[in-house]
Structure formats: structure tokens, C-alpha cells
Amino acid sequence: MRHHKGENAIAKSISARSPRTLLYGRLDVPPPATLFVLALQHTALVTIFLIVAVTVARLADLNVEAGRNFLSLTMVAGGLGTILQALAWRGVGSGYLVPSTTTTIILPATGAALAVGGLPLVLGMTIYTGVIAAALSRVIHRLRPIFPPEITGFVVLMVGLSVVVLAMRHFLGVGLPASESKTSVILASVTLGVMVALNVWGTPAIRLFSSLLGVAFGCLVALATGAFAEEQLQSVGAAPWISLPRPFVQGLAFDPGLLIPFTIAALAISLNALGAITAAQKIEDAEWKRPEMRSLGRGILADGLTNVIAGFVGGFGQASTSGAVGLAQATGATSRVIAFVVGSILILIAFLPKIGAFLLAVPGPIIGAALTFSGCFLITSAIQMIASRMLDSRKVFGLGIAFSLGIAAYVFPEQFAAAPQWLQPWVGSPVSVSVATAILLNLVFRLGVFTRNAVTLDSQQIDQQQLADFIAEQGALWGAPQDLVYRAEFMTVEAVNALVDHGLVHDLVKVSPAQPPVAVPGGLIRLSTRFDEFSLVVTVSYRGHLLEPSSIKPSAEEVLEEGGQVHLARYLVGRAADRARAARQGDLCVLTLTLQN
């Protein structure tokens, strides 16, 4: 059922043509039963990451009851954050299905805070992290040059790799004895095989629930083969059915000495949201070209507020779940209404410890299969984002070096752990070191761009291939979309040919000091380009007669009249560009041609 009534102004501002692969788009409302099962799939995926909160509870030496309460409060914060993210109300929330859950992004800084001031300091600094992320959300739209699509695509790629690496640890049973590792691979392969088979060959209805059905099948196999850990099953049995979470009452603390690591954590959370929401935008829009910055800003604000809430209630820090974006693409359901149900279920589970304990008891191989399933879509979506732009040597080196460092951080973590303490927040995770490097190199390589954006041509020796090559080089220099560059090549060649063919370019030559300058046919034509993610502008400067573009097509009779070819040229130039204007600047004629991205 399509949702048309009651859309707020923010939702209407994000116009997109949904891909045919989507069964339920962002503004669609699935039937109640379908909606509930889709929400269960995302809830199961989100709760996988609660293991991070369990890790923090153990590091903080919390007893069983306190640890369970900490986990419940974390789920409350995650549920509220999931709803906020999908809300898109009064400037808060991206309006996409991007659930919140615990994150390893803030874990290094959390470990330092636990060592200094225990859980009260962790919660206080979590609030600070949320405030900084919220502040960053207000200026993200001004940082568009720092985050062009190839950079945001790279962020999505590295976040997707982090999901897949975590998946493979569970999938392969890393750290387990050889016999258990073999069993882990078999169980994970069976579970993933069921998911993939249902998604590829199942009906649309089956495809919607392929992840949940695969997890359910895997759990049945695990129960039949004894793959469930005995102590986990005992913890499920010992957990009460209903328990009211108690807010943390030991107070909050703040330490100025931890400002840098938690500020960097806030930046990392913002970049993670940037990647996740960008991926969600691309899934939703078949004609996606670049990130919609206002939606990103609202989404980062939602993540910031979620961390403020988490700190105040006594739960662990949250971030957008990129894996859920991949799951939404895999199932073909991106409806933001699903997020409202997911958030409600998370809050409900916080009051039902037995269900939460069962979700945490799901064997690692099944978790690995589910994360692999969603991670595949996330990584391929990121590759498509990067490939949508023309990449010159600057971008090749920038992304290549950043990617290499990210992979190195996965393979040789001990080398990065040995870095100086002040550098640890930047290199504490593969995502942070790779993304920080990509952004830094992007800024460095932008130096000198404006000195390479112009060329001067002799109008009497125009080479159309040289013209096309120059525009192609400019497209790679600016990182413009390929289709935009192709249009710019045609537009520029059309304009220059019109000027040359109709003798509109001439130079002034002084024959003698006593006589005025004489106009001589031919002269120099200077081309320059500019690209700002929204439009590509080609400026043509020359001496001669002004060619004023026209949107009115001349009749056949007008073309055959004397000077009629110029009228036709004016029309062709005006038609080739989305916006064209001509003006005199001193003794120069300046033709400005603009293509909208």
C-alpha cells in the first residue's frame, strides 16, 4: 500500500525514482503481518551488535544483574535512536531505515574512560560525544567538497568491510579449536546458503523474509546438532520473563583529558552515519548522483541525540547500522515504517530479558552468515558509488593509499596499536585510519586544481579531439559523473565550432601607431571549467563578436536568409547547455555554459 497522505515537507523534498528491485520503498507501508516479520529480521540483525555492550559490561566488572540492566538500557537508547533516525521531523532524522545499535567506533575511547573513571565517566563522555556529533550535523552541508561521492562511497566501503570482517570471524570460527572451527564453517555455510537461495530463487514474498528464514533454519540445525552453547542456554533459562530496567543512578563524570579521543569518536560516528545514510539514499533512488546533504545532516543529528539519550539513561553509545541498510537492499524493503516497529520491539525487549538473552545466545556461525548476507549488498553499493565518478591519478592514489592502510589495520593490528597514544584515536580502527587518510589526501590533492582547469586554443587550428580530451581530463580532475562529462564534451565542441565556423573570433592588430587596430580573422580561445557537485560550468573567452545563445529555434526560411546560420548556431549552443549566457568583459566576449548535475 502506497503512503501518499500525511507526508511532511521534509519527506517531499527528497524526490527519487525507486528501483524496480524494491518491493516496499521508503514511503510505502507494508501490510501489518509483513511489516512485523520484516521488523523482526532487522531486530535480529541489530541485536547481534549488542555483544559490544556485553563487552563493556564485562570490562566494567558489572555483576549479572547490573550487566543485564546495562544491556536493557542500551536497547532502550537504540530503540529510541532507531525511531528518531526514521522520523525526519523538525529537522531530526534522515527519514530512512537505518537502525541504531551499539558500535565498536567508540570502544577504544570507552576503554580509556573505564580505566580512569569507570562507568560514570563513560556515560558522561558518551553525552559529550553525542553533543559533538550533533554540532557536526549543523555544518555537514558546508563540507560537501570534503565528501564528494567517491569519498562517501569509500566510507560506505570501509564500513561494509568492517561488517564483513566481523562476519568472517564468526563464519570461520576464528580462535576456536580446529574441530569446532570446521563445524562453524558448515553451519554458517548452510545458513547463508538458505538465505541466498531464498533471495535469488524465491518469490517476492519469500525474498522479503529470506534473512529471517535463514536464521530460523540455522537455529533449528544448531539445536539439532548441539551447536548452542550450554552456558548460553542456561542464561536464557535463568533470565526473568519481565524486568523493569532501572536508570543508572551513580552519576555522570567528565574528564577534559579525554576530549580528543571522544571528539574523534564523534567524528567517526558522523562519518559512519554519512556512509550508512548515503547507502540508503542510493538504494532508494535509481537515479542517484550524489548525497543529499540535508538528509545526512538530520541523520547525523539523530545519531548525536541518540548518544545523549544513551548517556543519560545509562546505556552504551550508538551508531547507525550499515548492515541493516544492506539487509534492506537484499530483501527489497526500505520502508521507514519498519524502523518504527524495530525501535518499538527493541524497547519492548528491554523489558523482556529472556528474549534478549536468547538473541544473544544465537551461535556465532549464524551471526556470521547473517552479517555476510547483508554485507555483500553494502560493499557492492559502495563500489557502484565510487565507480560513478571519473577518477584521475589524484583520486586513485588517495583512495588506494587509504584502502591499503585500512586493510593493513585489519591484517596487522599490532602495528597500529604501537602508535603513540595521541595518535591512537585516529588509528584505533581500520575504518578510522582509512577514512581519515582518504579525507586528508583528498584535501591535499585538491591543492593546485584551479591551476589546471584552463587551456588556450588557436581558433585557426582547432582539433575537436583535443577539445574532447580536455573536457574528459577536466571531468577526471573534478571527479564529475561520466554522463555529465559526455554532455559537456558535446556542448563545448558545439560552442567552439559555432564560433569558428561563423567567423565570430578575431584579433585586433595594430598596423601602425597612427592607425586604429584592425580586426584580423582568427584568434585565441580560452576554455576553463568549474564543478561544484551541482553543476559543471564551461567558460569560453575570446575576442570578437558576441554569440548570444537562444532557446528559440529558427525557421527554415530564417536559416536560409543572410546571416541565418548564426541564428541556428545560437540555438544549437543554447540547446546544448542547461543554462547559457553571453556577456562582454572589457574587450573579451565571455560565453558561460552550465550543465546541471
Cell of residue 464, nine digits: 575537436
Question: What is the model's pTM?
Answer: 0.63
pLDDT of residue 509: 59
Cα radius of gyration (the chain) = 29
Q: How many CB atoms lie within 10 A of CB 4?
A: 7
Mean of pLDDT values over 495-502: 85
Determine the Cα–Cα distance for residues 34 and 586; give it in Å rounded to an integer: 68
Residue 399 identity (one-letter amino acid): L
Q: Is the pLDDT of residue 344 over 90?
A: yes
Cell of residue 316, nine digits: 552504551
Q: Which one has a higher pLDDT value, 582 or 17?
A: 582
Lowest mean pLDDT among 5-9, 66-70, 437-441, 585-589: 5-9
Mean of pLDDT values over 194-205: 82
Determine the Cα–Cα distance for residues 187 and 363; give it in Å rounded to an integer: 9
Q: What's the chain's average pLDDT?
A: 80
pLDDT of residue 409: 86
Determine the Cα–Cα distance for residues 362 and 192; give it in Å rounded to an integer: 15
HSE of 375, CA atoms in CB hemisphere, 13 A: 20
Residues in Cβ contact with 186 at an 8 Å cutoff, skipping those fewer than 6 apart: none
SS3 content of the chain, % helix, strand, coil (to 5): 65, 10, 25
Residues in Cβ contact with 475 at an 8 Å cutoff, skipping those fewer than 6 apart: 390, 482, 484, 485, 488, 536
Q: Degrees (nearest 5) of the Cα angle 491, 483, 379?
A: 160
Sequence-ordered alpha helix ranges (H) in 209-258: 210-225, 230-238
Enter the CATH code of domain 452-596.
Answer: 3.30.565.10
Residue 529: beta bridge partners? Answer: 538
Cell of residue 520, nine digits: 584580423
Q: Is the pLDDT of residue 65 over 80?
A: no
Band (pLDDT 50/70/90 cuts) for residue 486 is confident
Going by C-alpha positions, the residue among 595, 594, 531, 492 that lies closest to residue 149 is: 531
Q: Per-residue pLDDT tens for 515-553?
A: 656 567 778 888 888 876 667 889 999 988 888 888 888
Lowest mean pLDDT among 206-220, 245-259, 439-453: 439-453
> Residue 172 in contact with residue 185, Cβ under 8 Å?
yes
Residue recorded with cell 542456561: 234
Q: Is the pLDDT of residue 360 over 70?
A: no
Q: Which one has a higher pLDDT value, 448 or 42?
A: 42
Going by C-alpha positions, the residue among 372, 366, 375, 286 that lies closest to residue 322 is: 375
Sign of the dihedral defined by the CA atoms of residues 387, 389, 392, 395, in that order: negative
Lowest mean pLDDT among 38-47, 97-106, 415-424: 415-424
pLDDT of residue 518: 56
Highest mean pLDDT among 16-25, 247-256, 258-267, 398-407: 398-407
Q: Is the pLDDT of residue 262 over 70?
A: yes
Q: Is 569 exposed, middle or buried (0-12, 13-18, 19+ CB in 10 A)?
A: buried
From residue 299, how far is each of 85, 94, 134, 305, 378 by CA, in Å? 6, 4, 9, 10, 18
Which phi and psi (to 5°) does residue 553 adopt?
-75, 125
- Give Cα 551 to chain centroid, integer Å: 39
Q: Is the pLDDT of residue 510 over 60?
A: no
Residue 593: beta bridge partners? Answer: 538, 580
Q: Dihedral angle at the C-alpha atoms of 48, 52, 58, 60, nearest 10 degrees?
A: -150
Mean of pLDDT values over 255-259: 81
pLDDT of residue 6: 36
Residue-range domain boundaries for the chain: 22-386, 390-447, 452-596
Band (pLDDT 50/70/90 cuts) for residue 55 is low
From residue 264, how far is each of 28, 153, 259, 381, 426 by CA, in Å? 37, 20, 9, 26, 7
Q: Per-residue pLDDT tens for 561-587?
A: 776 678 888 888 888 888 888 999 888
pLDDT of residue 11: 42
pLDDT of residue 4: 39
Residue recorded with cell 553451519: 187
Lowest mean pLDDT among 15-19, 222-226, 357-361: 15-19
Q: Is the pLDDT of residue 438 over 50?
A: yes
pLDDT of residue 14: 41
Mean of pLDDT values over 195-206: 81
pLDDT of residue 131: 95
Q: Helices 210-225 and 178-201 meet at what angle, rounded to 10?
A: 150
Q: Degrees (nearest 5) of the Cα angle 313, 79, 12?
A: 125
pLDDT of residue 20: 59
Determine the Cα–Cα distance for residues 412 and 203; give it in Å rounded to an integer: 44
Percent of the chain with pLDDT over 90: 12
Q: Per-residue pLDDT tens for 131-163?
A: 999 998 888 767 766 777 788 778 778 777 877
Residue 589: beta bridge partners? Answer: 542, 584
> Residue 475 in contact with residue 484, Cβ under 8 Å?
yes
Determine the Cα–Cα distance for residues 502 and 569; give it in Å rounded to an integer: 8
From residue 91, how far is each of 141, 290, 337 by CA, in Å? 13, 20, 18
Band (pLDDT 50/70/90 cuts) for residue 9 is very low
